[in-house]
Amino acid sequence: MENQSTFGEVMITEEQLKQRIKELGKQISEDFKGEEILVVCILKGAVLFLSDLIREITVDTKIDFMAVTSYGASTKSSGVVRILKDLDTGIEDQNVIIVEDIIDSGITLHYLRDYLMGRMPKTLKICTLLDKPERREADIKADYTGFEVENKFIVGYGLDYDQKYRNLPYITCLEGCEI
């Protein structure tokens, strides 16, 4: 994985991302009309999605960050979720939306949802840019989904391989695109 020549085709273009994120922002704004929301970005993968999504949301919005990791320098989930950074404030009685880049096995979000539900938010929703339903191990469904993707190892727009390629402005996959 030395350089960009190891990528496969562009799977989701910048324009497609922009258009779909606009729709998601509109839908969230309608669903929470007159309310305030707290958008929780799951670092690091969701950081690009968060920054584009919140600019499409028109209700009062606060943001916070959690850092969680379940993958090391490997393309496979370890199955173990570690919290590296928790929220800065309490979420009791707040409308919380967890923002993720991808739901793969579902282990990360399954853990996070239960963890945050224990803090008694008013509502807790999940917004994911990408969903890979084929790989699901834990029972978890998003309330807002950008795109369903095939079972390929995808990178770009926040998604990494060994911490690299998050900066690509589109979604692509590693050469051959197989896991």
Residues lying near Mg ion in the complex (CB under 5 A): 71, 160
CB 159 within 8 A of CB 170: no
Q: State which residue, 80 or 120, has the beta carbon closest to ligand PRP.
A: 80
DSSP state of 30: H
By CB under 6 A, is residue 70 in contact with ligand PRP? yes
* 104 catalytic per annotation: yes
Query: 143 to 162, contacts with ligand PRP by CB under 6 A?
Result: 160
Report the residue from 45, 106, 121, 156 that binds Mn ion according to the rule CB under 5 A.
45
CA distances in angstroms from 119 to 41, 112, 141, 151, 179, listed in the order given: 17, 11, 20, 34, 36
By CB under 6 A, is residue 131 in contact with ligand PRP? no
Cβ at position 177, least distance to ligand PRP in Å: 18
Structure tokens at 68: 């969680």
Burial of 103 (0-12, 13-18, 19+ CB in 10 A): buried
Say which entry of Mg ion, Mn ion, ligand PRP, none residue 145 contacts (CB below 5 to 8 A, set by partner kind). none
What residues act catalytically?
Answer: 104
